[in-house]
Amino acid sequence: MAADMNEYQGNYIGEYGDFLDKEIKRNFKHITKLEQSDLSQYTEDLNSYFQALSSLDRYELVFESRQGGNKIEHWHREFFNYYHFLENHIEVCKISGKNEELKNLLIIAQALSCLARVCKVIFKDNGFRVLYWQYRLDIAKSSREAYKQAMDYLFKGDYTSADLALSDIVEKLPDSTFLKQIKYELQFSLDKLIGFTETSAHWLDGKIERDEDN
């Protein structure tokens, strides 16, 4: 009877472990391929399934007999290797100015930040979350510098240079609050400049008419 129960438990844990392994693979693929714009559900599921797989090690003998430890080690390697691939790819895109691709890579890094707690053993303090914020802050800094340049050009009436400066700003980042602020301030400045130009034009027209009357 006890042997039957152990066998049943072993089969159940083995099948459950296989199910979790497949779900981790499915969700990880969805995130890294960026197959949908909203990755929140895949992120939540990836974290939950990996936590569940890791928790099976409390059934030590059964877990090891079903290659459970190998599954966890496999995913640790997958996450670790992908982290370095992503880090290198982000740096290349940043240097080469591939802003749209850089935006997508940062979305992936942000989504995989869910692994921070469950993968401390391989990442320590340098996981996907740190990678995301490191480059996110770099981009915000460069975007602010481009914004300041654009405003200077705008007030000088150099619209071509202003447009070129603004092209350096990466649009539609995961957190677009700064971009919205830039657009608002630019629109305000443009409206103010247009108003000033129209006022100057009316004043000039009036002056010309007065000069002609005299």
pLDDT digits (tens, 9 = 90+) for 70-128: 888 899 999 999 999 999 999 998 888 787 888 899 999 999 988 877 777 677 666 88
Q: Are residues 105 and 12 in the same domain?
A: yes
Q: Are residues 24 and 97 in the same domain?
A: yes
pLDDT of residue 23: 96
* Contact criterion met (CB below 8 Å) for 18 and 67: no
Q: Are residues 165 and 88 in the same domain?
A: no
Q: Are residues 147 and 111 in the same domain?
A: no
Q: Are residues 159 and 116 in the same domain?
A: no
- For residues 189 and 44, the model is more confident at 44
Q: Are residues 155 and 67 in the same domain?
A: no
Upper half-sphere CA count for residue 183 (Cβ side, 13 Å): 8
Domain count within the chain? 2
Q: Are residues 119 and 167 in the same domain?
A: no
User: Among residues 102, 125, 148, which one ends one of the domains?
Assistant: 125
User: Among residues 96, 125, 154, which one ends one of the domains?
Assistant: 125
Q: Are residues 121 and 35 in the same domain?
A: yes
pTM for this entry: 0.69
In which domain, by residue range, is 27 found? 1-125
CA distance 10 to 112: 31
* Beta carbons within 8 Å of 106's beta carbon, 6+ residues apart: 90, 132, 135, 136, 139, 173, 174
